[in-house]
Amino acid sequence: MRGDKMIEVNHLSFAYDPAEPVLSDICFQAGRGETIGLIGANGAGKSTFLRMLVGLELSFEGEILIAGERLEKKNLDQVRSRIGYVFQDSDSQLFMTTVEEDVAFAPRNYGFPEEEVRRRVDMALEKVHIEHLRGKSIYKLSGGEKKRAAIATILSMDPEVILMDEPSAALDPKNRRNLIHVINGLEGTRIIASHDLDFIRDTCERTVLLSEGRIIYDGPSQKVLQDRELLEAHNLELPLSLMHVITHTHDGSTHTHMFVHEHAAEHGKDHGTGHGADHGTGHEAMHQADHGTGHETEHGASGIDD
C-alpha cells in the first residue's frame, strides 16, 4: 500500500466513442476518510468517472489505484469489495424482495457466515436509520426510504470507499436533509457526484469541478461554491444557501428579498480553509426558491446584518 491515499488516478482518459472523449487526462487523489464533492453540469462526465472507479468501464488510458492496488480486470473482485457504489436510480440497486434480503446480498456473496451477515445487516440498517423497514417489501418503499435502503445495501459490505451518483436527485426537502445527516455520519472515503451544489456544500469539505471531461478546480468547497463566475462559466449556479432572505415590513405588508451572501465563510459548518472571497455582485435580488436544506434557520441568525 502506498501511504494514506485511498484513491489515486493518474492521467486517466476515456471515451465511449473515440471521436468524443468523455474524460481527458484526469489526475486525482483522495485520502482516507475524505469527503469529496464532484460537481459539473449534465454530461460533464461525473457518472462516467464514478463508474470507472469501480471498474464498470475498463477500456481507459492511464491508471487507477485503489488503496495502492492497480484497477485491472484480474483484481476486479478484490478492488470492488472495498468500494460501495450507490446508483442514481435506487430501483436498479434494489432487486431482492425485502430490504433485509437486499442488504444481506453483498455479505452473503462475500461468504460471511450467517451470524456475521445478520450483524452487518443490523449495523447497516442502523446507520441509515431504517431498522423499522427491515422486513418491508422493496416495492412498498417511498423514494427517500429507497435511497437509504440503497445506501444500506452497500454499507453492509463495510466499504472503505463510498461513491454516490446524484444521491439527492428526486428527494423532497425532508428526505434530503435526512440524507445529509446520514452521509455526514458515515466513515470512509466518500465521493458524491451531484449538480445539487447546496447538497455538496452540506456534505463535502473538498470539491472537484468537472467540465467537459476535465478537472477545472480541485480544492476547498467553500471557495469554489461561492465563485460565481467560475460556476457560471461551467453552466452551474451558486448554491441557493449562499443567498439569504431578508424580510422586512413596510407599509403594513411583508416584503421578502433574496441576496447573494457576501460573508459565506461565516457559515456554521466547517468548510475547510476557504475565505469569503468577494465574488458575486452583492445585493442582487434573486427569485424566491425552494430551500429545505436547513439553511433558513442557520442563516436567519448569521446573515441578517448584511
Partner 1 sequence: MSKIDHAMHQLHSLESMAKEERWINRLHPSVKLFLTILYVVLTVSFSKYQLAGLLGMVIYPAALFIVAELSLKDALWRLRIVLPLVCIVGAANPFLDRTAAMNLGGIVVSGGVLSMLSLMLKGVLAVLASYLLIATTSIEKICYALRQAHVPKILVTEILLIYRYITVLLSETRRVVTAYSLRAPKQKGIAFAAWGPLAGQMLLRSMDRAERVYQSMCLRGFRGEFCFGGTGAPGRTDVLWLVFWTAMLLVLRFVPVMEIVGGLFV
Ligand X SMILES: Nc1ncnc2c1ncn2[C@@H]1O[C@H](COP(=O)(O)OP(=O)(O)O)[C@@H](O)[C@H]1O
Residues in contact with partner 1 by CB under 8 A are: 54, 56, 77, 80-81, 83-85, 87, 89, 91-93, 95-98, 101, 104-106, 108-111, 114, 117, 135, 137, 139-140, 153-154, 157
Nearer Cβ to partner 1 (157/238) = 157
List the single partner that 259 binds among ligand X, Mg ion, partner 1, none, CB under 5 to 8 Å by kind: none
Instruction: Decide: is 163 part of the binding site for ligand X (CB under 6 A).
Output: no
| Minimum CB distance to partner 1, residue 207 (Å) | 25
- Rg of the chain over Cα atoms, rounded to whole angstroms, equals 21
Instruction: Decide: is 47 part of the binding site for Mg ion (CB under 5 A).
Output: yes
| Minimum CB distance to partner 1, residue 232 (Å) | 33
Nearer Cβ to Mg ion (38/64) = 38
Q: How many CB atoms lie within 10 A of CB 97?
A: 13
Interface characters, 187-226, with ligand X (x: CB under 6 A): ----------------------------------------
Nearer Cβ to Mg ion (41/76) = 41
272: left (phi over 0), alpha (psi -120 to 50) or beta: left
Q: Residue type for 96, please? A: M
Instruction: Decide: is 40 part of the binding site for ligand X (CB under 6 A).
Output: yes
Which residue among 4, 16, 237, 282 contacts ligand X (CB under 6 A)? 16
What is the C-alpha separation between 75 and 168, in angstroms, rounded? 32
Q: Which stretch binds ligand X (CB under 6 A): 38-46, 68-76, 116-124, 132-140?
A: 38-46
Nearer Cβ to ligand X (48/98) = 48
* Dihedral angle computed from the Cα positions of residues 36, 79, 22 and 217, in that order, rounded to the nearest 10 degrees: 20
| Minimum CB distance to ligand X, residue 212 (Å) | 9
Residues in contact with ligand X by CB under 6 A are 16, 22, 40, 42-48
